[in-house]
Amino acid sequence: MTIRTLRDYGQHYRPRMACLKNVEVFVVEMQDPKSGVKGADQKLNVTIIPHVINGQDILAWIVTKMKVTTEEAQAFGTMLVAYGYIYPLQNHRKLVLVPDSTLYRFQTPYFWPVQKWPAEDIDYAIYLARRNIRKKGMLEPYEQQHYDNLHKWMNPKWDFIVMQATEQYKANKERKKPDRVVLDCQERAYWIVHRPPRRTHSAMDYGLDRLIDPNAEEVLTFDVVRRTNIFLTQALMRSAVKSSMSLTAFVKFVTTHHNHDPFLTTPVPSNPWITDSDEFWQLNSRSVDIPTKLSVERWVLSFWELISDPRGRVDFKLFLKKEHSAENMAFYEAAEEMRWGAASAIPEKSQFIFNTFLKPGAPRWINIDGRTMGLTVKGLVVPHRYVLDAAQTHIFLLMKKDTFYRYLKSPVHKDMQKRALVPAPHVFTDAQLEANVRNRNPGVSPILQWQQEEEEKAAAAVAARPIDVKAMVATNKLDRK
């Protein structure tokens, strides 16, 4: 009896792997001896490698076959390299199609990503153990890290792994040297795709495994036909909104957000995902003192855009503080924290919100209508996540319809518009792009960001506490004595 694991099922029903069946057909056409990419024997070090192709020929063949531009052909060729259908012979870690004399080779179909067998950790451990024997302990840093981790996790099986690696190493020594070199390149290309170095993008990150085939045809029962008939009947009904109005709204939205869409307009100073320069993220971080002009222009689009940007929310809070209405934003944030926070903290947070914002004579009492106040206070007897929805919606609409437009006309916003940065666009050469890849800084840990946010919330809560004037007067008297 074969015991199937969740990962085995996921290999059959990968969400993003359906397109690779068409890629397979394309790669087979590329390897056609008559009409495919022309290959030749190439001497690499002291070994002659058969059927070697270069990046320039691959790019020209894709442009001719698919009738696309050079940029589109290079993007498609890079996808073929990233998925492991074509692998570089010299710089095996650079999974990009370089349109020059860089040498490539087609991967054998056994190592294509559409195969049903999964890339298991024990297979990778045997491969690393065999390389460790052949290289006499001189593995690459990322391979050595994987090797140490697998040795720690699979310690009970390690004798079996070493035995298998030794047998495979002895069997490989009996092969001819060109065959050994080709097989080593194929295996290394396979594992660099399925077990990439840390902080490296992998094309095999396809999301969660599925236990049900999404492409399977649904069995037509009476209930399925009845539900389909009801759905189609409702779809034929006339919409409440005219198509002309919908199209006008779409055009207006696209026109308004055109400069803020990185797919339509090149980000300034550069796209960090392409140039590996993190200056764009630094200029748009939540803790920056002076934001960019593009960010400030986005705040004007809507109130939701303003409070969705952490830096814009800070600027809006500064305006509310000068307007002596900071309690509205404080209540909105407290309600959001209660809605999305831990369930165990709901009673404590509800009591704090009642004492701070809703209780008669509260230090930061909010001005809402009596009906909403009554419903909210009554619901706080048995608090839950959504008990503050009515009051929160009232405060949100109040800030959206009144406070937001006063903020746009205020000196706070006008001063920020004058001081906003306009970064100059970056133009990197190929050498500078490679240097950016080598000098790429590690990203900020989400844990550190979460800790920073918690510290800022704690500091804001301390600053928002009501001031006891009597205690301050008594303290001043003691100091004078």
| Mean pLDDT computed over every residue of the chain | 84
Say if residue 184's pLDDT is above 60. yes
Could you report the per-residue pLDDT of 76-104, keeping only the tens digit for each?
A: 999 999 988 999 988 888 888 988 888 99
For 82, residues 6+ apart whose C-beta sits below 8 A from its C-beta are: 95, 96, 193, 203
pLDDT of 46 reads 75
Q: Which residues lie closer than 8 Å to 294 by C-beta, 6 or more apart?
A: 259, 260, 268
Query: pTM for this one?
Result: 0.52
> Which one, of 285, 290, 335, lies nearest residue 453 by Cα?
285
Right CATH for 258-440 from 2.40.30.10, 3.20.20.70, 1.10.167.10, 3.30.450.20: 1.10.167.10
Q: Which residue has the higher pLDDT, 477 or 390?
A: 390
Residue 270 near residue 428 (C-beta atoms within 8 A): yes
Residue 2 has pLDDT above 90, yes or no: no
What pLDDT, on the 0 to 100 scale, is given for residue 113? 81
Region 297-313 average pLDDT: 91
Would you list the domain boundaries of the chain? 258-440
Q: Are the CB atoms for 112 and 85 separated by under 8 Å? A: yes
* pLDDT above 90 for 8: no
Q: What is the 3-state secondary structure (H, E, C) of 216-248?
A: CCCCCCHHHHHHHHHHHHHHHCCCCCCHHHHHH
Rounded Cα–Cα distance for residues 338 and 398 (Å): 20
Question: pLDDT tens-digit profile of 13-29?
Answer: 555 566 777 888 899 99
Q: What is the pLDDT of residue 11?
A: 46
pLDDT above 50 (res 261):
yes
3-state secondary structure of 50: strand
Task: Give the pLDDT of residue 457.
Answer: 73
